[in-house]
Amino acid sequence: MSEPTASTHERSFPPPADLDGLQSKAWIAAGIGIAASLAGWFLDPTQFYRSYLVSWIFWLSVAAGCLAILMLHHLSRGAWGLMIRRVLEAAARTLPFLAILFIPIVLGLEETYVWARPEAAADELIQHKAVYLNRTAFVFRTVVYLGVWSFFAYGLSRLSLRQDRTGDATLFRRMQVISAPGLGIYCLLTTFAAVDWLMSLDPHWYSSLFGVYFLGGQGIAALAFVILVALYLAQREPMAGAFNAGHFHDYGKLLLAFVMLWTYFAISQLLIIWSADLPEEITWYLERAHGGWKWVSILLVLFHFLLPFLLLLSSDLKRNAKALGKVALLLLAMRWFDVFWLAAPSFEHGHLSFHWLDLATLVGLGGIWLALFLGQLKTRSLVPVNDPYLVEALDNE
């Protein structure tokens, strides 16, 4: 409840030296993953491109979700957000690199997207959609999504860094003013992105709830990732004395809210399509309710919703950083299964099959992404030391 003070220079929060070691490990994982993925590309290019798309969307969800939560923090000014603002900023600053990593998807467009193949010319329905679903428009839109997100990520990061240097008390207001339209634009672009990258894998199918379903999932992915980073930092100086049970309690509450939001969208989409029972819509669910996919669907219901939901109800668990970290890890793993469940049945229209390239591309891209993220995280103080509300945030119970 204290009055905001202009500056709190008594404490500093330099990044711990352990981050260097972690970054090296991430690069090693990236090297192994990329080598395996390249081998896979020679052996089975089609499978490589498909696995790569799922892995890329998974890591993009974490980075883009962090940008959304960063803007949510600036808008709500909650004490919870100040402690993780630098983590969110670092993750959001990886977005331009993810744009570069999108290039292999463009190269293998025919292998993954039906509408990009020559035989799509014979499909009347796809022909009607060709104005929207064509290579040039697809690449152009992706560049716009990542460009606009990166613009907001770097704009907010720049102001946040200036706040560290000058302690200008008006900057937090400016970041808030940018975040208000930013969050709206973000949500709009993400729904379009979900339609382009995932829904168009099955160009005959459509669902108006698909975009927000993907959006809810991004919230979970980003928060789960941030909780794991916070847990790692909380075990080391200088953040060991800064994080307390109250902060993790807040992250747990937000994670629970996003789990419920994701479930709400998932059930809304299912309910509408199931009630209408139209042949062009229900087939998408029928594919996911038969063969091995049925088990992935059940897995998602149990471990993406039911178990995390019940566990996160407990306030003791949310205040216990390590226990919360386990739930976050489970949800992060489930995020991969969800993206896989959205994409993979549309590739083969058959039985469930895992390929070793799914893992190789996940590790390869994950290694690169984590190394880039840690590289960004290392460059700044782990807490915005000159934010007017920092004292209050550190004191949060």
Binding site for another protein (CB under 8 A): 267, 270-271, 274-275, 277, 313, 315
Residue 106 or 313: the one with the smaller Cβ distance to another protein is: 313
Shorter beta-carbon distance to another protein: residue 212 or 360: 212
Q: Which is nearer to another protein, 121 or 272 (CB)?
A: 272
Residue 270: CB minimum distance to another protein, A: 6
- Smallest gap from Cβ 277 to another protein, in A, equals 7
CB of 276 to another protein, least distance (A): 10
Nearer to another protein, 34 or 307 (CB): 307
Smallest separation (angstroms) from another protein to the CB of 212: 17
In whole angstroms, what separates CA 121 from the centre of its chain? 34
Q: How far apart are CA 88 and CA 93, in angstroms?
A: 9
Q: Which is nearer to another protein, 176 or 268 (CB)?
A: 268
CA–CA separation, 31 and 14 (whole Å): 28
Tokens of 309: 């939901």
The nearest distance, CB 255 to another protein, in angstroms, is 18
SS (H, E, C) the chain: CCCCCCCCCCCCCCCCCHHHHHHHHHHHHHHHHHHHHHHHHHHCHHHHHHHHHHHHHHHHHHHHHHHHHHHHHHHHCCHHHHHHHHHHHHHHCCHHHHHHCCHHHHHCHHHHCHHHCHHHHHCHHHHHCCCCCCHHHHHHHHHHHHHHHHHHHHHHHHHHHHHHHHCCCCHHHHHHHHHHHHHHHHHHHHHHHHHHHCHHHCCCCCCCCHHHHHHHHHHHHHHHHHHHHHHHHHCCCCHHHCCCHHHHHHHHHHHHHHHHHHHHHHHHHHHHHHHHCCHHHHHHHHHHHCCCHHHHHHHHHHHHHHHHHHHHCCHHHHHCHHHHHHHHHHHHHHHHHHHHHHHHHHHHCCCCCCCHHHHHHHHHHHHHHHHHHHHHHHCCCCCCCCCCCHHHHHCCC
Residue with smaller CB distance to another protein, 73 or 247: 247
For another protein, which is the closer residue by CB, 270 or 329? 270
* Minimum separation from the CB atom of position 251 to another protein (A): 19
Question: Residue 271 CB, nearest distance to another protein (Å)?
Answer: 6
Compute the least distance from the CB of residue 274 to another protein, in Å: 5
Question: 256 vs 344, which CB is nearer to another protein?
Answer: 256
Give 188 or 272: the residue with its C-beta nearer to another protein: 272
Minimum gap (Å) between residue 314 Cβ and another protein: 9
